[in-house]
């Protein structure tokens, strides 16, 4: 066997020979630029250090024994190895155990074994890397032709490994001559994907710089009173400010640490008052940069809370990497059933799928429900909706927004409007008042990005993603003013049985009611019988016809001006799918709600 692998260009690193037809691990290497050093060898695991240039990481190849009492020895060995390793670590192979009930089909799930496996991973500081390609990795037919499938093979990593290889992922390949599927872990893309059109993103860390307020004021005044033009000017000047003045946070941090180290080394040999002052100044500069770095990763991580303790930069950085990795799409099954991993093919398929979803118009019957009685808004509500907008209303809408929600196409979050409200308020209030007066607004305000959030742990098709709309904050301000006016009158047109989207009502109540109904149906002794319908409306909001929306608003008694405003907000949008961080081609929808 050694000569076979040598002829293929592979060198044996560590070998545990098989016992008959079971067990056995071979670790091979074919890259001359990589140095591999074996750390530990047991019959179920080989651990080794991988060095490439100045960076090192650790890897453990696992082949767990199928007998539970022997597998417990492996859990102990992994815990022991974890205490030896300090740095990036990946453990991969056949663990012969599962973590979740969803990882078993057709077989038995044993909770006690899963808990023991999970406790071992937790003790070692490891977590599942996740995989694409297929859900299960081991298949076997048992009596009766029933096929058992389980996820017995996986790659687990620690935090340092994920930070070292943020783009890495594991693919489950097709099984050929074995009942196990091979795992293929890509630590680095063989061919780096070309950067597409990445939208501008406002960085909250810029606000910590004393000169940035002047940058915003100057740019805004240059574009006033057109808010869209003002934002474009701020984008242009902020990008220039970031390159020429603010600089790279990570470069500044390394340089300040170097300077501080040099000063402290000098002070060890001689006392110098000027150097003491310089040391204090460098400490202050470094603290400011550390704050900027923490704010940067906090903003990117989408975390809504801050843990107590020391600087949370590493925590937020890891959260950012994990969130991006979870949302990144490496491969999917297309509509024709083929598996695709090529970036261009996936982007074309995604754009086509969502254009079809949002742009297909079907024949509808607006009177399909017949002349049923419909609640209507009161005169007081209609008057409130069409009243002139006040500056206080607009300011309240801005200040009650979440500061760091995901930005829309213009790249600005609510924190920007809150921080510079004194400079922006007049033009923003003027725009909102114009919108309520029925004046046409710049179409760029209504531009929307569509991001895809997986609805399942491992999505295999585009139907398993939830499209979420990222709207510009200026658009949200207009709609939030309208919502704040309308909220006190919701009870006039919303029935008591409506559970979702109503303050004070929870959808969990519907679950309890449904359980009570099914319990009654199973136990009723009625001779007439009972019947229940389960209706699954896939992507219901994305398919709402705008003609139906208009007819519904009319029947509920909304004022004509309010209907026009709502329809203008809905129908003026231009959508673009955000695919793995790149913005795809815009298209104009013909149905759907954002």
pLDDT digits (tens, 9 = 90+) for 215-238: 999 999 999 899 999 999 999 999
Average pLDDT in the chain: 85
Cα 522 from Cα 436, distance rounded (Å)? 53
| β-pairing verdict for 332-333 and 339-340 | antiparallel
Q: Taking each helix axis from N to C terminus, what angle separates 249-269 and 273-301, rounded to the nearest 10 degrees?
A: 150
Confidence of residue 193 (pLDDT cuts 50, 70, 90): very low
| CA atoms lying within 13 Å on the CB side of residue 532 | 10
The two structure tokens encoding residue 522: 């199973």
Cα 186 from Cα 170, distance rounded (Å)? 6
At 279-293, the pLDDT tens digits run 888 888 888 887 777
What does the pLDDT average to over 265-280?
A: 83
The two structure tokens encoding residue 500: 């979702």
Res. 143: pLDDT tops 70: no
Of 61 and 496, which is predicted with more confidence? 61
With contact defined as beta carbons under 8 Å apart, do 253 and 260 qualify?
Answer: no
Res. 187: pLDDT tops 80: yes
Question: What is the pLDDT at residue 153?
Answer: 94
Contacts 24+ apart (CB under 8 A), 254-263: 256/282, 256/285, 256/286, 256/289, 257/286, 260/286
What does the pLDDT average to over 324-343?
A: 79
Q: Using CB atoms within 10 A of its CB, is residue 403 exposed (0-12), middle (13-18) or buried (19+)?
A: middle
Res. 318: pLDDT tops 70: no
Res. 327: pLDDT tops 70: no
With contact defined as beta carbons under 8 Å apart, do 43 and 51 qualify?
Answer: no
CA distances from 391 to 421, 425, 434, 479, 561 (A): 12, 8, 12, 15, 20
Tell me the sheet residues that pair with 47: 40, 60
Q: What 3-state DSSP class applies to 21? A: coil
Question: What is the pLDDT at residue 47?
Answer: 94
Confidence of residue 499 (pLDDT cuts 50, 70, 90): low
With contact defined as beta carbons under 8 Å apart, do 559 and 382 qualify?
Answer: yes
Which stretch of 14-28, 394-408, 542-556, 575-589 has the lowest confidence by average pLDDT?
Answer: 14-28
Cα 162 from Cα 129, distance rounded (Å)? 8
Question: What is the pLDDT at residue 313?
Answer: 56
The DSSP output letter for 204 is: G
Q: Using CB atoms within 10 A of its CB, is residue 380 exposed (0-12), middle (13-18) or buried (19+)?
A: exposed
Question: What is the pLDDT at residue 308?
Answer: 38
Radius of gyration of the chain (CA): 30
Q: What 3-state DSSP class applies to 15? A: strand
The sign one gets for the Cα dihedral 391, 392, 397, 400 is positive
């Amino acid at each position: 066997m050694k000569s076979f692998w040598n002829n293929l260009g592979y060198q044996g690193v560590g070998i545990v020979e098989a016992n008959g037809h079971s067990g056995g691990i071979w670790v091979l290497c074919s890259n001359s630029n990589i140095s591999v050093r074996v750390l530990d060898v047991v019959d179920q695991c080989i651990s080794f250090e991988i060095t490439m240039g100045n960076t090192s990481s650790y890897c453990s190849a696992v082949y767990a024994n199928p007998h539970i009492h022997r597998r417990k020895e492996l859990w102990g060995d992994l815990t022991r190895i974890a205490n030896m390793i300090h740095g990036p670590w990946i453990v991969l192979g056949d663990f012969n155990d599962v973590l979740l009930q969803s990882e078993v089909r057709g077989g038995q799930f044993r909770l006690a074994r899963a808990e023991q496996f999970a406790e071992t991973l937790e003790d070692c500081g490891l977590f599942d890397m996740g995989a694409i390609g297929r859900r299960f990795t081991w298949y076997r037919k048992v009596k009766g032709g029933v096929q058992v499938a389980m996820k017995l093979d996986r790659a687990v990593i620690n935090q340092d490994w994920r930070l070292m290889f943020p783009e890495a992922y594991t693919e489950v390949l097709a099984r050929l001559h074995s009942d196990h599927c091979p795992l293929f872990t890509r630590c680095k893309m063989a061919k780096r994907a070309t950067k597409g059109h990445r939208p501008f993103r406002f960085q909250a860390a810029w606000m910590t710089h004393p000169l940035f307020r002047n940058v915003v004021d100057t740019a805004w005044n240059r574009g006033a009173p057109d808010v869209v033009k003002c934002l474009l000017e701020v984008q242009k000047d902020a990008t220039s400010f970031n390159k020429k003045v603010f600089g790279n946070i990570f470069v500044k941090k390394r340089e300040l640490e170097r300077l501080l180290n040099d000063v402290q080394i000098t002070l060890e040999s001689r006392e110098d008052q000027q150097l003491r002052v310089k040391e204090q100044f460098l400490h202050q500069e470094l603290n400011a940069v550390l704050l900027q770095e923490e704010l940067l990763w906090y903003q990117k991580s989408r975390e809504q809370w801050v843990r107590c303790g020391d600087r949370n930069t590493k925590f937020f950085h890891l959260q950012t990497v994990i969130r991006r990795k979870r949302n990144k799409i490496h491969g999917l099954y297309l509509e024709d059933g083929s598996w695709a991993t090529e970036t261009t093919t996936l982007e074309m398929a995604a754009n086509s799928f969502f254009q079809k979803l949002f742009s297909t118009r079907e024949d509808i019957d607006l009177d399909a429900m017949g002349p049923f009685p419909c609640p209507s808004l009161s005169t007081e509500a209609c008057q409130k909706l069409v009243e002139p907008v006040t500056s206080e209303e607009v300011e309240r809408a801005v200040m009650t927004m979440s500061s760091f929600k995901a930005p829309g196409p213009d790249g600005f979050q609510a924190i920007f409007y809150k921080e510079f409200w004194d400079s922006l308020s007049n033009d923003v209030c003027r725009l909102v008042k114009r919108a309520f007066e029925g004046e046409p607004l710049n179409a760029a305000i209504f531009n929307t990005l569509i991001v895809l959030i997986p609805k399942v742990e491992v999505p295999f098709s585009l139907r398993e993603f939830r499209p979420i709309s990222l709207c510009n904050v200026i658009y949200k301000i207009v709609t939030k003013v309208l919502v704040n006016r309308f909220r006190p009158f919701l009870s006039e047109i919303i029935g008591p049985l409506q559970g979702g989207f109503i303050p004070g009502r929870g959808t969990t109540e519907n679950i309890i009611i449904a359980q009570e109904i099914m319990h009654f149906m199973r136990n009723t002794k009625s001779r007439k019988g009972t019947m229940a319908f389960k209706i699954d409306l896939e992507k219901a909001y994305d398919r709402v016809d705008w003609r139906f929306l208009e007819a519904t608003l009319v029947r509920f008694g909304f004022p004509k001006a309010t209907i026009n405003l709502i329809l203008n907000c809905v129908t003026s949008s231009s959508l673009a799918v955000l695919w793995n961080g790149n913005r795809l081609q815009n298209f104009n929808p013909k149905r759907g709600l954002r």
